[in-house]
Structure 1
Amino acid sequence: MHSHTNLIAVLLLTVLIHEGSAIWCYRCTSATPGCGETFNWRGIGYLGEHCPEPDDICVKLTERRGGSETITRDCLSALNFRKDIPADKYEGCRPAAKDERLAHYVNHTIKEHDVRRDYFTDTTFCFCFLDHRCNGASGMQVSAVMALLTVAAALLLR
């Protein structure tokens, strides 16, 4: 009976520590080796960074135009300057929001500025916050393995 109390106390302490700290996210672009569609954390050379906000979430942003694709992995607070972030930021992927008024009052001839944000024809935001470094390709698989190991350890200690 005493071991069950200790196990429950350790699990509660782990949950409280996890809630009190900021989430870790990978922060890179597809121009960085290892940060493309096939993600390899060894290629980018680090295990992610703390997000600046305590209630931040990780984001994987994919922008496509024809055969060109740009992937950005970052914290949501670092992308707040964008006006096309979907309103629903729960786990999962969503297309970018459309803002009909974006650059409505801008009238200049410099095409490279892309003030209307219409260069990319397909923009997708993928949000995650249930696990550290979840904006990598295999982050959720590592989380499931850790959950299974925790359950197995609890059953063995029984």
Structure 2
Amino acid sequence: MQAQALLTALLLMAAFIHESAAIWCYRCTSATPGCADNFNWRGIGFLGEQCPETNDICVKVTERRGAKETITRDCLSALNFRTDIPADKYEGCRPAAKDVRLGHYVNHTIKEHDVKRDYFTETTFCFCFLDHRCNAASGLHHPSALAGAAVLLLLLLRSVIY
């Protein structure tokens, strides 16, 4: 009986943790109510979306110019058009990369196009991939779902053995 319970617990864990499942991220901008720095998932009305690629990363982009702040929460694959994404995409926050050749061959005077991406004076990318919907956090301090699954597995094993 104990072997059946152990096998059932392992099969349940394997069903929930598999490599092909993509991470879920919040996908909104600070123009959406509830998506600003004081994040409120009830304000945006959904619990996030599954990222299109299996090895995706959740990203929070904070762009500042003076007192104006714009926050974008999305999957990294949805932001791949940007040339200022830092090369280091490990967990944590980093300043944006500088592309000196950006807009080099563009010659027009329409400043609203922002072809050199220099409107914002400070841009920060925060990457996270250890937990679903982790781009809600302001400082990226959150418990990992893997640690929670390990505790659950230990509790199940303890109840089966004793």
Equivalent residue pairs, number = 156
Q: What is the DSSP-based 3-state SS (H/G/I as helix, E as strand, rest coil) of the residue aligned with 1:69?
A: strand
TM-score (structure 1 length as normaliser): 0.87
**Whole-angstrom CA distance in 2 between matches of 1:66 and 1:57:** 29
**Whole-angstrom CA distance in 1 between matches of 2:81 and 2:47:** 25
**Whole-angstrom CA distance in 2 between matches of 1:81 and 1:91:** 21
**Whole-angstrom CA distance in 2 between matches of 1:39 and 1:105:** 39
Q: What is the aligned partner in structure 2 of residue 123 from structure 1? A: 123
**Whole-angstrom CA distance in 1 between matches of 2:11 and 2:118:** 52
Listed as ranges, the gaps of 5+ residues in structure 1 are: none
Q: What is the aligned partner in structure 2 of residue 93 from structure 1? A: 93
Letter in 1 for 2:71: I
Which sits farther off after the overlay, 4-13 or 145-154? 145-154
Q: What is the aligned partner in structure 2 of residue 106 from structure 1? A: 106
**Whole-angstrom CA distance in 2 between matches of 1:47 and 1:102:** 36
Q: What is the DSSP-based 3-state SS (H/G/I as helix, E as strand, rest coil) of the residue aligned with 1:140?
A: coil
**Whole-angstrom CA distance in 2 between matches of 1:57 and 1:47:** 16
Deviation at residue 32 of structure 1 after TM alignment: 0.8
Listed as ranges, the gaps of 5+ residues in structure 2 are: none
Identical pairs, percent: 66
Letter in 1 for 2:55: D
What is the CA deviation profile of residues 117-137 of structure 1, one whole-angstrom value per residue up to 9, with x for unaligned ones? 001111011111111111112
TM-score (structure 2 length as normaliser): 0.85
